[in-house]
Amino acid sequence: MKVTPARLDSFKLVNPDAIQMNGIISKRFSASRRNRLHHEEEYNLLWPFQEYTPVVGKDRIVDNPPHPEITRGDWQGEFLGTWMDAACKTAWYANDLELRQKIDKMLKDWLATQGKDGYLGTYHEADRWKSWDLWIQAHDIIGLLSYYWYVGNQEALTAAIRVADRVMQDFGPGKEYLHNGPHGGMASSALLEPFVWLYWETGDERYLRFGQWLVDEDWEAPGGIAIISSLLAGNGVAHTANAKAAEMLICFSGMVELYRATGDERYLKPVLIAWDDIVQKHLYITGSISTGEHFQSNFLLRNDGVFRLGETCVTMTWLYLNLNLGRLTGEARFYDIAEQTLYNHLLGAQSPDGRGWAYYMGLRDSKRFRWHTDPDCCPSRGVRALAQMPLHIVNIKDDGFVVNFYEDSKVNLHLPLGFEIKIKMETRYPFAGDVKITVSQLEPAQFKAYLRLPGWCQERKLEVNGVLQNVSPDINGYLVIDRSWKSGDILELQFEMPPNILIDKIGNNGRVALTRGPLVYAVDNHYLPDGIILDDVILFLNKKDPAREIRLVDDEMGSVHLVTQMVMVAPDKGSGGWKERERYFRLDECSGTKTPVAVRLVPFFEAGTNDSNAYKDGVSENTEAVTNITYQVWLPYQFNQID
């Protein structure tokens, strides 16, 4: 029996093949499909299940690993389930029969390794449950259910059930706790979300009860991660469990799913508390979080890549959580954050050709795009993040349709009101703020259009068939048009996108960042005059109107760059030598070119991509050294006192 989820979601997702994307999301999604998913080596994903591997030692390195050229750890079993989820959603969207054949072959070979007892893992029996085993079982279920939803293959659902039942033989009420696993049990708690999915699919309340036991008893037992009690006590994410970011965010998504199944506010309230804490105290301007993969002290937001900022796994799980909360609550603030993360840190971590991914990426750094990293979690999760996007661009409400992301696209929707409509969205967003939406259906009909008003937008205009609409955003942050629609009616949005100067008073004193719309901009070495490096640059801004001198330049690749003024300075050496003085200087302390010259800034996701050193094949460790700096977001500035 398949259970119908409780009607707690504000928005209903569309199937991946209901939409055709044509904008920047489509460009990066398609590059991921063609150049990454199609070329992923099957053996790289399958061998851990076929050969097994020892558990990690005290120094977190496997002694004599079976394939040291691929990985030195024992967590690689997660990658196949993650790849399967991304590949299924991607092939479903694109009707990609070649990728479908690859998926089918992978699934067959994968299931051939499942034991008679249901175990589908990467460890010898003597090593089970000692390391990342339960984390891997969680990703097994995710991948198997994704295949089941895509293909309708009962064998995949049965295999997922067997995995879960094998876990429950040893764990659950009256049995073992999960909190002895990595990161205090947060990794093992990744089982929460897919277990609730199994409850939806089968109607078997054992899976729901397991999820409730995990959160209510396991987490709060002595030695448990105590996520709920910690957050309710006001500790914040930096002082909850061991502050490991990706694993904690995955736990939050599981709590959201548990709330969907029970309606119990005890599971949702701590997530919203954590969300506020992250946004206010831990969020980088580019939409990612974490230093060294952990939440650090409040407001400790470093810039330099040497600190291992913005792990792509964290970026993905943060984006995923916001999409999840947006669908549940119908509140635009969650899509605002998802948009910030998507267009800046996520796309910035993906190489433009879709092949490589950066493991870490700072705001003053170089890009290190790699085909494989050790571990390979970031490339696999980056691809999975992009694969989610077709589900969330346009959604359905009981009384109409919802636009969450302004991607040039076409969408077919079956509204709960009993008829089908088609949406055609024409736009260059996020590079331009003009959006044209054409609505088509067979007969005139009354329904509502919900249009997210981006949180960055201060001025906008909305017209229907050329008639200006005086509409204020509703309580959730959407512009709502309720009317009787005729086929061919046109909505036109104009979001004003002036360049903005952001002054940060938390750790970036004397520096500014430039944004426009949802995009963050950076100075890139590639566009600097010969002989000039980033440390030579100081922006030269007008005192009364800092953004006045910023010009827009259309890039030949369809992007929009910003051009403003800078001065290039060098410190007077003086007594003691310049190395003993501060990094940045007032102009009156400097010699050099004080006459303003033009400097070009590029969207953060483009920064550093012209550096040939950013690309490397093979496997690179995530501790790979930062050997050069190619771009910078926060920049020192001087005001021009003359108007």
Q: What is the tens place of the pLDDT at every residue in 74-98?
A: 999 999 999 999 999 999 999 999 9
pLDDT band at 614 (very low <50, low <70, confident <90, very high): very high
Are residues 456 and 532 located together in one domain of the fold? Answer: no
Beta partners for residue 620, in sequence order? 373
Which tokens in the block code for residue 81?
């389930």
**Alpha-carbon distance 322 to 278, whole Å?**
12
The whole-number pLDDT of residue 64 equals: 82
Report the DSSP pairing between strands 537-542 and 635-640.
parallel
Residue 285 located in a structural domain? no
Residue 383 located in a structural domain? no
Residue 450 located in a structural domain? yes
- Look at 221 and 530; give whichever has higher pLDDT: 221
Maximum separation of any 2 CA atoms in the chain, in Å: 82
**Alpha-carbon distance 400 to 196, whole Å?**
28
Report, as an integer, the average pLDDT of 544-561: 91
The three-class DSSP label of residue 256 is helix
What's the number of domains the chain is made of? Answer: 3
Instruction: Indicate if the pLDDT at residue 58 is higher than 50.
Output: yes
Which tokens in the block code for residue 424?
């055609």
**Alpha-carbon distance 592 to 241, whole Å?**
51
Residue 559 located in a structural domain? yes
Instruction: Indicate if the pLDDT at residue 352 is higher than 80.
Output: yes
pLDDT band at 583 (very low <50, low <70, confident <90, very high): very low
Which tokens in the block code for residue 579?
């190395």
* Domain end among 170, 194, 213: 170
Instruction: Indicate if the pLDDT at residue 577 is higher than 50.
Output: no
Report, as an integer, the average pLDDT of 495-502: 96
**CB hemisphere CA count around 485 (13 angstroms):** 27
Instruction: Indicate if the pLDDT at residue 4 is higher than 70.
Output: no
Residue 33 located in a structural domain? no
Are residues 421 and 523 located together in one domain of the fold? Answer: no
b or e along 281-295 (b: 16 or more beta carbons within 10 Å of the residue's beta carbon)? bbbbbbbbbbbebbb
pLDDT in tens, 140-194: 999 999 999 999 999 999 999 999 999 999 999 999 998 778 899 999 999 999 9
Residue 312 located in a structural domain? no
Are residues 490 and 618 located together in one domain of the fold? Answer: no
The whole-number pLDDT of residue 365 equals: 96
The whole-number pLDDT of residue 63 equals: 83
Are residues 548 and 442 located together in one domain of the fold? Answer: no
Residues with Cβ within 8 Å of residue 596, at least 6 apart in sequence? 540, 565, 566, 567, 640
Residue 261 located in a structural domain? no
Which tokens in the block code for residue 255?
């709590």
Instruction: Determine the structural domain holding residue 491 and report its residue range.
Output: 397-430+433-495
Are residues 99 and 117 located together in one domain of the fold? Answer: yes
Report, as an integer, the average pLDDT of 307-321: 97
The whole-number pLDDT of residue 567 equals: 81
| 8 Å CB contact between 376 and 621 | no
Instruction: Indicate if the pLDDT at residue 588 is higher than 50.
Output: no
Are residues 529 and 604 located together in one domain of the fold? Answer: yes
What is the overall mean pLDDT for the chain?
Answer: 92
Residues with Cβ within 8 Å of residue 228, at least 6 apart in sequence? 215, 219, 220, 266, 267, 270
Instruction: Indicate if the pLDDT at residue 419 is higher than 60.
Output: yes
* Domain end among 475, 495, 515: 495
Report, as an integer, the average pLDDT of 531-554: 89
Report the chain's terminal Cα–Cα distance, integer Å.
Answer: 73
Residue 232 located in a structural domain? no
Are residues 458 and 542 located together in one domain of the fold? Answer: no
* Domain end among 113, 140, 170: 170
Are residues 635 and 503 located together in one domain of the fold? Answer: yes
**Amino acid identity for residue 129 in this structure:** W
Are residues 631 and 504 located together in one domain of the fold? Answer: yes
